[in-house]
Structure 1
Amino acid sequence: MTAEPLALRSARELAEEVLFPASTAVDRSDRVPAEHLDLLAGRGLYGMAAPEESGLDLPDQAAALRLLEILAGGCLTTTFVWMQHHGAVRALAESRNRALQQDLRPELISGKRRAGVAISSAVRTGPAPLRAQQVVGGYLFSGTAPFVTGWGMIDLLHTAARDNDDALVFALLDAEENEGVTAEPLDLLAVRASGTVTLRFHRHFVPRDKIVRVVPQEEYLRGDAESLRFNGALSLGLAGRAISLLGEDAGGLPAELDAARDRLVDATAEEVPAARAIGSELAVRAANACAVQHGSGALLPGAHAQRLVREATFLLLFGSRPSVRAELLDRLTDR
């Protein structure tokens, strides 16, 4: 039997000994404890997207997905903030802006500097809420980024705005309010401590040296399935936690979880939306079963069961796409 990678053993220890015991307290807090994020950095986990450079023992994509699953089963809110970081690391690896790459990437990989992401509003089909206008020396960003996570806990924001030619302009911006950027906190159903806000850009000037890359929207969307795949691991982690709390009452759910995990890993790009839907729907059923087993005590604020139900509902909707929603509606309504 192949030994479990060290990174997964380290993540499991952190999830069971620190994250899960504190998860209900985090659920009622206004932000993720800084020490949780520092522990992730101290174990090298901010280098997940660059294992060769960080030295993190993650041999393949399946191991990276399993890492996300383990941490999400410990504390979804902490994992939700941490996972936003890795898009910036990957983006800098592909960037032609060598100065920006050399200046920021080592610190991002180590977790000394931490990033969030604000790209969903620009990549969606239809009119883009966040627009980029090219001007002398750079771009002006105007509009909104509706869901930006980690505000107040991140240093940089991997941001995308769409120009008049339907190209996505990606930049790494300082994660702070100023004359051109304002933040409005959001009161979410779950992960309230994630620092999720709506950002409003008011002709915010982005100098050319902050631009990571410019890519046609159509080209970017061809690789979008991978972000859906990694988001799907969060639901598997939540389902796994509910199953562990159910114990002997879990019935056939553990086998379903194993099958859903294999499906997510093996899915082609075209199959990822269905794999994501399978995991999300499983998380909802497992969390509700956990609540039923727990009884009326699940209605109380400190109960893991009620937190898992809310978080499972959140994961039905987070980072979705029309293809995922269609698959979920088919499963939930048995169409």
Structure 2
Amino acid sequence: MTIAAHPLVSRARRLADDLLAPRAAQVDEEGVPVSHIEAVRRAGLLGVSAPREDGGAGAPEGVAREIAEILAGACCSTWFVQTQHHTPVKLLAKSELPVRGRLLRPLATGDLMAGIAYAHVRRFPRVPVRATAERGGWRFDGTVPWYTGWGLNDVMLLAGVCERGDVVFAFADARERPGLRPSPPMRLAALTAARTVSLELDGLWLPEESVVLRTPHESFARIDIPRSTNTSPAVFGVAYAALRVLENAPQGAEPAAALRADLDEVRRRAYALADHPVPHEHIEERLNLKTRAYDLLRAATTAAVVAGGGRAVDLRSPAQRLAREAMFLLIQGQTAEVRRAQLAALTQTRQSGESWPGPG
């Protein structure tokens, strides 16, 4: 079976065409509704990567990428909320600790929705959230700068760094409680709809049974490097959505065709590296392809705005929304290494006076 013919991909396309894309402008202004997350759950997409024996689909990674592209291109805010769910599911599937038995099946079936609160660990040796062993469990103190899906998620995967430098990952209920206080929803230039807050932790205590992983920071970083240097499928999803807008604009068909050919090639190469059996190899090539994909994303969304003229900056126009989503994706999941590569690529482009040279 090809990826395009997979039943979950077909469901994702129907969901995108029938619900997400038609309501994307409304969601951008009003926020992701619970009904959108429920629709993603009913389609079986929350369990795409979860093991079959635990209630998931056990689908190949290529299927998960295709679904992510489809959702991001249709409604990036909805994609961003639901994409948080998949990392906790994958981590639980690899765990042998008691929390696996309690949470994996309800997360795989979509009966529960998970968010993530651990991006701050990438700031090490800075420690925004400290984890301290206490009373047969762990106490968490500090600030989680970004937490997406507040009010939509049931549980969160929270991480803190303990005194010896280990990273402690544990599950907590995603609700205000003693020791956990959310900020008001953040007003962002893009994806405000995704209900992002910061979290103040002041003695939040979680039992040992909530822990899913404890690992040295060096081990976390080693796993995180290939994950952060691969290109997000959302970049391709939003870029292709912008090209569809461009194709339908006056004088847009020819530039859209040229950009699509370049984007297709970068996508092919980026996904081939994502599937490479040794994830820590070809880091420089992964970064190069990621920055090229970003360049094409900017070009596609900017071209959609240019071709649309004054109409493109109307809040009802998809062109301006896609351009703002592209700006957001430039920094989503960004690490210091990725930032350096992006800035170097932008500097080289400016010095050469050229756009990226294209595949090959």
**Is 1:117 matched with 2:123?**
no
Whole-angstrom distance in 1 between the partners of 2:167 and 2:45: 28
- Alpha-carbon offset, residue 282 of structure 1: 1.5
Are residues 1:11 and 2:12 paired? yes
- Contact kept, 8 Å, 2:56 with 2:109, in 1: the verdict is no
Asked if the contact 1:41/1:111 (under 8 Å) is kept, the reply is yes
Residue pair 1:225, 1:272 contacting (<8 A) in 2 also: no
> How much does 1:52 deviate?
3.2
Tell me which moved more, 283-292 or 217-226. Answer: 217-226
Aligned mates of 1:160, 1:231 — CA distance in 2: 24
1:34 alignment counterpart: 34
CA distance, structure 1, for counterparts of residue 62 and residue 289 of structure 2:
14
Q: Distance in 2 between matches of 1:68 and 1:174?
A: 26
CA distance in 2, matches of 1:90, 1:57: 11
Match of 1:264 among 266, 270, 274: 270
Aligned letter for 1:208? E
Q: Which residue does the alignment assign to 2:315?
A: 301
Residue in 2 that maps onto 1:21: 22
Q: Name the aligned partner's letter for residue 33 of structure 2.
A: P
Offset, 1:331: 2.6
TM-score scaled by length of structure 2: 0.88
- Name the count of aligned residue pairs: 332
> Which residue of structure 2 lines up, in the alignment, with residue 322 of structure 1?
336
- Counterpart residue number, 1:128: 127
Q: Kindly state the Cα deviation for residue 279 of structure 1 after the two structures are TM-superposed.
A: 2.0
Quote the residue 1:254 is aligned against: 260
Matched, 1:285 2:299: yes
How far 1:81 sits from its partner (Å)? 0.0
For residues 19 and 230 of structure 1, do their structure 2 counterparts lie closer, same or farther at Cα, with a shift above 3 Å needed?
farther
Deviations 1:238-275 (A, max 9, x none): 00100111111413111122112112212254143333
Amino acid at match of 1:41: R
Please state whether the residue corresponding to 1:263 is helix, strand or coil.
Answer: helix
Whole-Å separation in 1 of the counterparts to 2:39 and 2:89: 19
Matched with 1:207 is 207
- Deviation string 1:168-216 (CA, Å, 9 cap, x unpaired) is 1000000011120111121111111111011110011111111111011
* Structure 1 CA distance for aligned equivalents of residues 90 and 146 of structure 2: 20
> Which position in structure 2 is the counterpart of 1:140?
139
Instruction: Give the whole-Å Cα distance in 2 for the aligned partners of 1:173 and 1:230.
Output: 29
**Which AA in structure 1 matches 2:29?**
R
After superposition, the Cα gap between the structure-2 partners of 1:258 and 1:321, relative to the gap in structure 1 and judged at 3 Å, is same
1:56 CA drift (Å) = 3.0
Q: Superposed, which structure 2 residues align to 1:188-203 within 5 Å? A: 188-203=188-203
- Provide Cα deviations, 1:131-156, integer angstroms capped at 9, x if missing partner: 10111211110001101100000000
- C-alpha root-mean-square deviation of aligned residues, in Å? 1.8
Deviations 1:32-74 (A, max 9, x none): 111111111111100022153445373x322221211111011
Distance in 2, matches of 1:229 and 1:89, equals 21
> 1:234 offset after TM fit, Å?
0.8
**Amino acid aligned to 2:215:** V
8 Å CA contact 2:49–2:57 kept in 1: the answer is no
